[in-house]
Structures are given as structure tokens and as C-alpha cells.
Amino acid sequence: MPDAIFADPRLARIYDQFDGPRDDLSLYLEIAAGVGARSVLDLGCGTGSFATLLADAGLTVFGVDPALASLEIARAKDARVRWIHGDATSLPPLQVDLATMTGNVAQVFLGDDWETVLRAVHDALRPGGYLVFETRRPERRAWEDWSRAEPRVRGGVREQLELLGVNLPFVSFRHTYRFPDGSMIASESTLRFRSRPEIEQSLGRCGFEVVDVRDAPDRPGKEHVFVAMRK
């Protein structure tokens, strides 16, 4: 079930305000152009920021997300994208050139569901198609910054991030939002921090070959961006 930060309608409406400029997406656009992609599956598309950029570039785009509230925001942004409410296991028959998981979507899969997703994406790609995604490097201990996070205010809404627990490879945290009317909504999340070898091994088991591992230019040294090809 999606976290409230994506699934609650009030939080979905303010998500883009707090997400800020998506400086991370230029690398994905560059990779899409580099592999000559004409069709893209954007898995965990959220409010549609990246899918809309792909459509602007003239690509055929499928945006998939299990959080209906986020997907409704995305649908209002762009009618050119085929928006699909669901997850990787509920995809229609596809043979796309590229599949993407931006914004550390890969870390929300905590157990066997990770390889279930990889196999489903494998089936949705054409032979020789590519999967690109990012994930935080565990050794950089991103959660230490989260534990010191200061409140942020956007449009009168106050957000506070609170670290709940670190039990590697799992890290849990809570976002709490206070609205101008005094109401509050909390959203708890858990992410899994996988090492580079662990990810590479899981990709190999699911029919992918890792062709490149890049740095994230907006967060140098903090993340790996994996480029894998369907065998």
C-alpha cells in the first residue's frame, strides 16, 4: 500500500511544492536520448513530473503508480501520457525501449517484491531494452542528514521530517504536515538500502546485464544510477 505522502489527496496536491526543482531528471532524459528510446515505462511515476518531460520530447510514455491521488495529479498535467493505476505486476502487454524508476523508487521495495518488480519490468521491455534507476549508497548514511532536518514551509504548510529508526538495511522515517487550518497529516515510510553488489546480483538473476553505473549529478557521490539491459 502506498505511503500517505503519495496516497493522501491533500498531500498529493502539495507534493510538487516540497519536491522542488527536479534537477535529477536531466540525466534520465540524457540516457533516454543516448539509447535512442522512443517508448518509455515510468514506474512509480508519482505526480508525473518525468513522464511529462518525456512526452514533451516526443516519446510514447506509460506512467504507472499505485497511489491514485498522485496519479490524478499527473493526469491533470498531461493527456499525452497513458497513465496506469497499478504497479509493475499489473501492466498491460508492453515492449518498450526503456523503463525508469526515478526519485529512489527502487528503495521502496523491501523484500522479495524487488525481484518481482525486476522480472515484470524485464517482460515489459523489448529484447535489448534498458532499465535505469537510482538508489542511495548505504555507505553515505543519508539518514544522518534526515535526523538533523529543519522544518520546511511551502504555501503555508509546515513539513517536519523525523527519523524513526535505523535497522539496516531498513531505515524508517516520518513526514508530518501541519496545514494553515491547524490540521495535521503524518506519513511514515521505510526504505531499503542495498549495496551495489546486491543490486547487481539481483539484476543478473532477473535477466539483466549491468552496462553502466553512473553518479547522480545533482547529488554527487551519494547515489548510484544503474543502467541495465534486458538480455
Match 539483466 to its residue by C-alpha cell.
208
- Spatial CB neighbours of 157, under 8 Å, sequence gap ≥ 6: 14, 17, 177, 178, 179, 180
Match 518525468 to its residue by C-alpha cell.
50
Model confidence over 63-85: pLDDT tens digits?
A: 999 999 999 999 999 999 999 99
Predicted confidence at residue 20, as pLDDT, reads 78
Predicted confidence at residue 188, as pLDDT, reads 97
The ranges of the chain with pLDDT < 50 are none
Work out whether the CA dihedral 227, 1, 154, 74 comes out positive or negative.
positive
Match 551519494 to its residue by C-alpha cell.
222
Match 521505510 to its residue by C-alpha cell.
190
Predicted confidence at residue 127, as pLDDT, reads 97
Model confidence over 192-230: pLDDT tens digits?
A: 999 999 999 999 999 999 999 999 988 899 999 999 999
Predicted confidence at residue 158, as pLDDT, reads 98
Kindly provide the b/e burial profile for residues 92-114, where b requires at least 16 CB atoms within 10 angstroms of the residue's own CB: eebebbbbbbbbbbbbbbeeeeb
Predicted confidence at residue 159, as pLDDT, reads 97
Provide DSSP, the chain.
Answer: ---HHHHSHHHHHHHHHHH---TTHHHHHHHHHHTT-SEEEEET-TTSHHHHHHHHTT-EEEEEES-HHHHHHHHHH-SSSEEEES-GGGPPS--EEEEEE-TTGGGG--STHHHHHHHHHHHHEEEEEEEEEEEE-GGG-THHHHTTPPPEEETTEEEEEEEEEEETTEEEEEEEEE-TTS-EEEEEEEEE---HHHHHHHHHHTTEEEEEEEE-TTSTTTEEEEEEEE-
Predicted confidence at residue 218, as pLDDT, reads 85
Predicted confidence at residue 170, as pLDDT, reads 98
3-state secondary structure 195-231: CHHHHHHHHHHCCEEEEEEEECCCCCCCEEEEEEEEC
Determine the Cα–Cα distance for residues 83 and 55; give it in Å rounded to an integer. Answer: 12
Predicted confidence at residue 22, as pLDDT, reads 87
